């Protein structure tokens, strides 16, 4: 075999040329008399005509856009096809005019992606008889990729992450769908998994204490109120105003008069009284009075005189001793919302791409 002495062309020294080192030019093969048919010359064997819409990223009545079957080195590589089995020179005027509009629209959609500087539009047509236009996105700042060798760099560059590739496909499809047609490619869906209930494991001691203090029936609550000598507590945790007989007197803290120190709870329920006052509890009444005394009230005592601030002829009221107030614990549930009418307060727990041929097509 004789040595090939053909000099290398100048473009091999361009910065955009992707190869370097010792190279030589291939020997040129002789021409053939009859060229072989391209793929899909017969529309019954055309791959593009037989591909369903769900293999594309966007479709319309007369045009479709597809991507590669996997990510490549460039941010985006797409192919525009017409539905009709036609080549470029066979397009009627309507499709020829729409091809110009679709070319500009798809170029803008790809160029809108982050990190894209330019979009190269190519048509070779040597591999497939069905019209298809190539759109290749050049990454921003990669000046070495400018020019005619971008399709070669696509096979050389590291592959972009698949999640970024799929997101770009969905963005382009949505852009095109704004002007008509249907977007097939969709962004990745986030699968939220949340439990309908919050289960907190309880220890044996917790369950035993809960069983001992929680009443099971309304009768248990009433019995507990009576057994607690009118304090209005059941085991220090449950409150009922049933023992107040709905009288609404100052003793049960259920009135809306100044005597109840500003409380306005209906049905004689004292659970929501300011200062943490408890139904039927004298110590709670004193505690509420300490936190809710209003300025200018003529009955407020400003001295040690037990009758100071009281109406004429009133009997002095003995103050609750600190010992009495401390003996009745303040129930935690007493600060929640009561159930009106019953006088009972309770607690509760509450794909987008098809395969493509080589760029030479």
pLDDT at 320: 46
Ranges of residues in the chain with a pLDDT under 70 are 1-4, 189-216, 220-221, 224-361
| Greatest extent of the chain over all pairs of C-alpha atoms, in Å | 136
Partners of 63 in the β-ladder? 82
pTM above 0.85, yes or no: no
- Looking at residue 21, its pLDDT comes to 87
Please give the helix or strand (H or E) that residue 183 lies within, else none: strand 182-183
Beta bridge partners of 78: 67, 135
Q: 289-345: per-residue pLDDT in tens?
A: 444 444 444 444 444 444 444 455 555 444 444 444 444 444 444 444 443 444 333
Is the CB of residue 242 less than 8 Å from the CB of residue 225? yes
What angle (nearest 5°) sits at the alpha carbon of residue 265, between those of residues 259 and 268? 75
Domains of the chain: 10-16+38-183 (3.30.428.10), 210-286+323-347 (no CATH)
pLDDT at 219: 73
Q: What is the pLDDT of residue 13?
A: 87
Smallest Cα–Cα separation from 76: which of 139, 17, 12, 127? 139
């Amino acid at each position: 075999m004789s040595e090939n002495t053909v000099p290398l062309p100048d473009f091999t020294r361009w910065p955009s040329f992707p190869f370097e080192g010792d190279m030589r030019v291939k020997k040129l093969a002789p021409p053939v008399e009859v060229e072989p048919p391209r793929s899909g010359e017969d529309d019954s064997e055309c791959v593009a005509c037989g591909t369903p819409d769900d293999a594309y990223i966007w479709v319309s009545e007369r045009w479709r856009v597809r991507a590669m079957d996997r990510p490549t080195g460039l941010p985006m590589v797409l192919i525009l096809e017409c539905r009709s089995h036609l080549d470029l020179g066979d397009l009627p005027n309507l499709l020829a005019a729409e091809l110009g509009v679709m070319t500009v629209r798809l170029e803008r959609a790809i160029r809108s992606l982050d990190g894209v500087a330019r979009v190269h539009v190519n048509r070779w047509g040597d591999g497939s008889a069905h019209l298809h236009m190539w759109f290749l996105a050049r990454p921003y700042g990669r000046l070495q990729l400018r020019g005619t060798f971008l399709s070669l760099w696509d096979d050389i560059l590291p592959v972009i992450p698949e999640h970024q590739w799929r997101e770009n496909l969905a963005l382009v499809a949505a852009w095109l769908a704004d002007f008509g047609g249907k977007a097939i490619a969709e962004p990745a869906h986030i699968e939220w998994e949340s439990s309908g209930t919050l289960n907190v494991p309880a220890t044996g001691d917790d369950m035993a204490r809960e069983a001992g203090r929680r009443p099971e029936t309304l009768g248990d609550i009433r019995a507990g109120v009576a057994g607690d000598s009118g304090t209005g507590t059941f085991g220090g945790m449950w409150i009922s105003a049933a023992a107040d007989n709905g009288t609404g007197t100052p003793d049960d803290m259920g009135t809306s008069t100044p005597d109840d120190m500003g409380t306005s709870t209906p049905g004689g329920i004292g659970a929501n009284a300011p200062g943490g006052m408890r139904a039927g509890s004298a110590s709670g009444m004193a505690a509420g009075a300490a936190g809710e005394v209003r300025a200018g009230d003529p009955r407020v005592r400003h001295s040690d005189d037990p009758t100071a601030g009281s109406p004429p002829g009133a009997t002095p009221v003995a103050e609750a001793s600190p010992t009495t107030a401390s003996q009745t614990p303040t129930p935690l549930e007493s600060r929640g919302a009561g159930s009106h009418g019953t006088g009972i307060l309770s607690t509760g727990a509450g794909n987008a791409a098809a395969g493509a041929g080589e760029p030479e097509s």
